């Protein structure tokens, strides 16, 4: 059986001491295996990155940008191959896989602007014949630890910006769907990136802890669940690293009585059930202001959720694919059952969906709850599955308090025709990414992505301007070149 290896110093390396099965979620069958890196293998990747850093650091930003331009073209040329890998190992439908890749490519496009993005600041004559300037210098070896749900896009939130800034990179992608990152790493080499600048190690906690403990690694970026994000942040910072750790979410959409209900329903269908709900920006709670709005929303959602076409992601007519693993499938089913037991009204039940011809696949149909309350587990936990909960409140203030009181603060949105309500909401809601009549307010590549509260540990988000700040250190230089005859005595004070 094929074993997916690592990518170290420009070569495929297979460490077969420990392997793990990789599944096709649509069939439930093992499609290949992935090598789980030993501590020594991870250290080999870090050493390769460390050795490549001096030359890459001193490569002019314009030349780094040229690599990114070629890389972008190669990603587009090989999109079908990458998207097939995403669908076969993650399960998402091909359209969704293509959308993921496009959003990743947008960050590569932003990284192509490295020469402009890395310009410093200069002040002449801050004192007599004294000039001062600041510049952005790379950190060294940096690492990314990324989740299964976006195996192409989330790594590309990280390494294009890190590399464009002059760092070298070690990626630890999810071991559940490792093929797409490996393809992307090989395309980077083809684009002209020197060996060792970008490395991939597949693995589990052994690989993660080696990255967090190795003193050669200067910074770590992470996307995943909140408990692991908190662990990454605490362990990495304890070991002197700069860390950005993006965690979980429970994203609410407020539906106002004046909302365009058809638009809200269409938006929620994509935001709640797209990618089988396996998105940190998925809308999993619809908070309806007033019973009339709730009744109308549920009445319009019910037939659409029931009609969702669920099946293999390779069938372009399907709207939703399977969950990533059998364990994820069982977890979603269990949480839905707990919701029923706690008194929520299950309007659409997708727990027992069986897809003909794919009976062993990890499928769960769309589920829709009404009359959910904040004390229920389906409200409190991030389900990470195709489940939408409708909560009923009397006022917008009550809806906002629900959102503000929740431990997560990743994304939220408001559906309304009222500009005053929208302005008040955007000004006052305690969430990092906000949409108005936009259900998935994911920032474009030249803005930064990141939530509030327990959805982000660290001060800086992903991509955009925050990426420049995260992957560089500011150095300020104050310089004087006195002319002959001006050296007329010692000076013991600060220049002034």
* Tens digits of residue pLDDT in 40-61: 999 999 999 999 999 999 999 9
Give the helix ranges, DSSP H, for 14-60.
39-57
* Alpha-carbon 119 to chain mean position: 27
Render pLDDT for 422-439 as a digit per residue (tens, 0 to 9): 999 999 999 999 999 999
74 and 143 assigned to the same domain: yes
Do 315 and 200 fall within a single domain? Answer: no
Catalytic residues, by residue number, are 280
Clarify whether residues 185 and 333 are in a common domain: no
* Same domain membership, residue 218 and residue 128: yes
pLDDT of residue 483: 74
The pLDDT-based confidence of 481 (bands split at 50, 70, 90) is confident
Interval 230-252: pLDDT, tens: 999 999 999 999 999 999 999 99
Going through 333-417 in order, the beta strands assigned E by DSSP cover: 345-348, 367-370, 387-393, 408-409, 411-415
* For helices 226-238 and 205-213, angle between their N-to-C axes, nearest 10 degrees: 30
Classify residue 376: in a domain, yes or no: yes
What is the number of domains present in the chain? 2
Q: Is residue 441 part of a domain?
A: no
Domain match, 393 and 471 both: no
> CATH number for the domain including 179?
3.40.605.10
In a domain, residue 484? The reply is no
CATH number at residue 338: 3.40.309.10
Beta-carbon contacts of 176 under 8 Å, excluding residues fewer than 6 positions away, are 22, 23, 89, 90, 148, 324, 325
Strands (E) in 185-318, as ranges, are 198-200, 217-223, 242-246, 251-255, 283-289
pLDDT tens per residue across span 30-39: 999 999 999 9
Confirm whether 300 is domain-assigned: yes
Would you state the pLDDT for residue 491? 65
Whether the predicted pLDDT of 474 surpasses 90:
yes
Rounded CA-CA distance 32/34 in Å is 7
With beta carbons less than 8 A apart as the criterion, state whether 335 and 383 touch.
yes
Say yes or no: 219 and 283 in one domain.
Answer: no
Domain that holds residue 163: 3-247+455-477
Asked if residue 231 belongs to a domain, the reply is yes
Give the pLDDT of residue 277.
Answer: 96
Buried residues in 305-340 as b, exposed as e (16+ CB within 10 A): beebebbbbbeeebbbbbbbbeebbebbbebbeebe
Confidence bin at 15 (pLDDT 50/70/90): confident
Q: Taking Cα atoms as reference points, which of 87, 441, 427 lies closest to residue 282?
A: 441
DSSP assignment of 416-477: -S-HHHHHHHHHH---SEEEES-S--PPPTTS-B--EETTEESS--BSHHHHHHHSEEEEEE
């Amino acid at each position: 059986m094929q074993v997916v290896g690592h990518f170290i110093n420009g070569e495929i390396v297979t460490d077969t001491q420990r392997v793990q099965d990789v599944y096709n979620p649509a069939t439930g069958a093992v499609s290949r295996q992935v090598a789980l890196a030993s501590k020594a293998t991870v250290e080999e990747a870090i050493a390769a990155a460390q050795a490549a850093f001096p030359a890459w650091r001193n490569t002019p930003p314009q030349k780094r940008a040229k690599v990114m331009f070629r890389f972008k073209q190669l990603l587009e040329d090989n999109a079908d191959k990458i998207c097939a890998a995403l669908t076969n190992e993650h399960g998402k439908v091909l359209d969704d896989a293509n959308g993921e890749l496009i959003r990743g490519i947008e960050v590569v496009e932003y990284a192509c602007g490295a020469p402009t993005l890395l310009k410093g600041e200069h002040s002449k004559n801050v004192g007599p014949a004294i000039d001062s300037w600041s510049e952005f210098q790379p950190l060294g070896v940096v690492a990314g630890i990324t989740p299964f749900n976006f195996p192409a896009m989330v790594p590309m939130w990280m390494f294009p910006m890190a590399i464009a800034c002059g760092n070298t990179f070690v990626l630890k992608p999810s071991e559940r769907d490792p093929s797409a990152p490996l393809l992307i790493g090989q395309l980077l080499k083809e684009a002209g990136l020197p060996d060792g600048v970008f490395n991939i190690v597949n693995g589990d906690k052994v690989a993660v802890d080696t990255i967090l403990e190795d003193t050669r690694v200067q910074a770590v970026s992470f996307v995943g669940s909140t408990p692991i994000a908190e662990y990454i942040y605490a362990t990495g910072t304890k070991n002197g690293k700069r860390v950005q750790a993006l965690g979980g979410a429970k994203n609410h959409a407020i539906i106002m009585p004046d909302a365009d209900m058809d638009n809200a329903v269409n938006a929620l269908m994509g935001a709640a059930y797209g990618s089988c709900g396996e998105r940190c920006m998925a809308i999993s709670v619809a908070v309806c202001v007033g019973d009339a709005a709730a009744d109308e929303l549920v009445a319009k959602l019910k037939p659409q959720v029931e009609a969702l076409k669920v099946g293999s992601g390779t069938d372009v007519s399907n709207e939703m694919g399977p969950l990533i693993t059998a364990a994820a499938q069982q977890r979603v089913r269990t949480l839905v059952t707990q919701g029923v037991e706690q008194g929520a009204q299950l309007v659409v039940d997708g727990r027992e969906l069986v897809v003909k011809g794919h009976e062993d696949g990890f499928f769960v149909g769309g589920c829709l709850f009404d009359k959910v309350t904040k004390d229920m587990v389906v409200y409190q936990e991030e389900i990470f599955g195709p489940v939408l909960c409708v909560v009923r409140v009397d006022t917008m203030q009550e809806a906002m308090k629900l959102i503000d009181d929740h431990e997560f603060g990743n994304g939220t949105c408001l559906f309304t025709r009222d500009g005053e309500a929208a302005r008040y909401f955007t000004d006052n809601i305690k969430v990092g990414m906000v949409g108005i009549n936009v259900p998935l307010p994911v920032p474009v590549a030249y803005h930064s992505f990141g939530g509030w509260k327990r959805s982000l540990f660290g001060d800086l988000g992903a991509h955009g301007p925050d990426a420049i700040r995260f992957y560089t250190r500011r150095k300020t230089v104050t310089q004087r070149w006195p002319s002959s005859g001006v050296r007329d005595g010692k000076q013991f004070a600060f220049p002034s």
